[in-house]
Amino acid sequence: MASTRPKPRKLSSAKLRSAAFRRVRADHQSELAQDYVELIADLIDERGEARGTDVALRLGVANATVVKALKRLQDQGLVSQEPYRAIFLTGDGWKLAEDGRRRHKIVERFLLALGVSAETARIDSEGIEHHVSRETLAAMAKFLTRN
Amino acid sequence: MASTRPKPRKLSSAKLRSAAFRRVRADHQSELAQDYVELIADLIDERGEARGTDVALRLGVANATVVKALKRLQDQGLVSQEPYRAIFLTGDGWKLAEDGRRRHKIVERFLLALGVSAETARIDSEGIEHHVSRETLAAMAKFLTRN
DNA sequence: GCATGATTTTAGCCATGGCTAAAAAAGATT
DNA sequence: AATCTTTTTTAGCCATGGCTAAAATCATGC
């Protein structure tokens, strides 16, 4: 990898560029987990408990899908649940949920401040929140205070 | 679904909420295709041709992964390619690529205008561009002209 | 024009995130 | 307490998007 270098042509920035795509793929990995814990936290706050069925309903997904996903989240130490019972968040789960809520709130309020409708802000923020870096989030927050 | 309504409690907005998640999942479906065609278009413009290997390099992904993805894109009528040869975009492929570029450019310039670094704008825009609705994109464009 | 080295594709593995249909558990009703 | 209904889980399917290792093809030097 040092001496030959057969076809450099002009692809020198390739590695640099690939970083963005790698980040997007990594974000997608954590996205589902974050959506779940955020939703579970909301349900617990709103109704006192979170049941798998409610999660499925809000996510717009089949019940079985949620059961499977919850198993993975349990393996990751984010939630705890016994069969046929309500879902609980672990310490890590709450931390992730809080982080997601904070980020979500900023993005949604930012979109509103930018002038889009409430409906669009709600929908777009759901997709955008997972791809906003710390720096961009800070810039959005700053924009909010200035307006 | 009309007469009984057994447990409404206060989950009436569930269907509404689920729409956002459905949209995010749908966006993820088209995301890969869009990234590929956009990248292929760039390679064709920059270097005259796009080879699978270059795509793999820029995406930061194994060669075999690209080969497999290109087959799917071919089935979707976005690219055309013969084994061991360069990749071409179909009419639909070009349309999708142009749309992606336009959207990408607006999002990236918007982030810059918001005050984030060039590096961050480049990286974040890659993830955000696929989750920005027509309305939000328009709001970003408007913000750009005002500034 | 043929052997050898480089590149590209194929084969086959894995995890994820969907689904439906069947089984199991919980909860009501009598 | 036994049955019947509803809810939840399990089982098993599918497509996607990754990977590595092996096979096939291409291209070069001789």
* pLDDT per residue rounded down to tens, chain B (147 residues): 332 233 344 445 677 789 999 999 999 999 999 999 999 999 999 999 999 999 999 999 999 999 999 999 999 999 999 999 999 999 999 999 999 999 999 999 999 999 999 999 999 999 999 999 999 999 999 999 998
Q: Where are the domains of chain B?
A: 21-146
**Mean local confidence (pLDDT), A58-74:** 97
Query: Which has more confidence, A14 or A100?
Result: A100
Given a contact cutoff of 8 angstroms between Cβ atoms, the answer to whether A79 and A94 are in contact is no
Token representation of residue A4: 């030959």
Q: What is the mean pLDDT of residues A31-55?
A: 96
**Interface with chain B: mutation pick from A9, A24, A109, highest number of B CBs within 10 Å:** A24
List all nucleotides in chain D with at least one atom under 7 A from a protein Cβ: 6-12, 16-21, 25-26
Task: Report the residue from B60, B111, B115 with minimal CB separation from A18.
Answer: B60
Q: What is the pLDDT of residue A138?
A: 98
Q: Are B90 and B80 in contact (CB under 8 A)?
A: yes
DSSP H or E run through A80: strand A79-81
Q: Which nucleotide is nearest to A63 (CA to C1')?
A: D8
Torsion region of A116: left, alpha or beta (phi above 0 gives left; psi -120 to 50 gives alpha): beta
Q: Could you say which of B54, B57, B117 has the minimum Cβ distance to residue A135? A: B117
How many Å apart are CA A36 and CA A79, to the nearest integer? 9
Report residue A136 CA to chain centroid gap: 15
- Record: contact A124-B132, CB cut-off 8 A: yes
Report the greatest alpha carbon distance in chain B: 65
Report the distance separating Cα A119 and Cα B71, nearest Å. Answer: 37
Q: What is the pLDDT of residues A8-41, one digit of tens each?
A: 344 456 777 899 999 999 999 999 999 999 999 9
CA distances from B61 to A11, A118, B99 (A): 15, 38, 24
Per-residue confidence (pLDDT) for residue B123, from 0 to 100: 96
User: Could you give the angle at the alpha carbon of B76 between the alpha carbons of A128 and B74, nearest 5°?
Assistant: 115
pLDDT given for residue B15 in this prediction = 72
Contact B137, A141 (CB under 8 A): no
CB B146 within 8 A of CB B113: no
Interface probe, candidates B18, B63, B107, B136, chain A, greatest A C-beta count within 10 A: B136
Give the lowest-confidence range in A3-7, A131-135, B87-91: A3-7
- In Å, how far is A117's CA from the nearest CA of chain B? 8
pLDDT value for B17: 83
Q: Do B11 and A57 touch (CB under 8 A)?
A: yes
Q: Which CATH number fits domain B21-146: 3.40.50.2000, 1.10.8.50, 1.10.10.10, 3.40.50.800?
A: 1.10.10.10
Strand D-proximal protein residues, Cβ less than 7 Å: A 25, 51-53, 63-64, 66-68, 81, 83-85; B 6-7, 28-29, 31-32, 59-65, 68-69, 72, 83-84
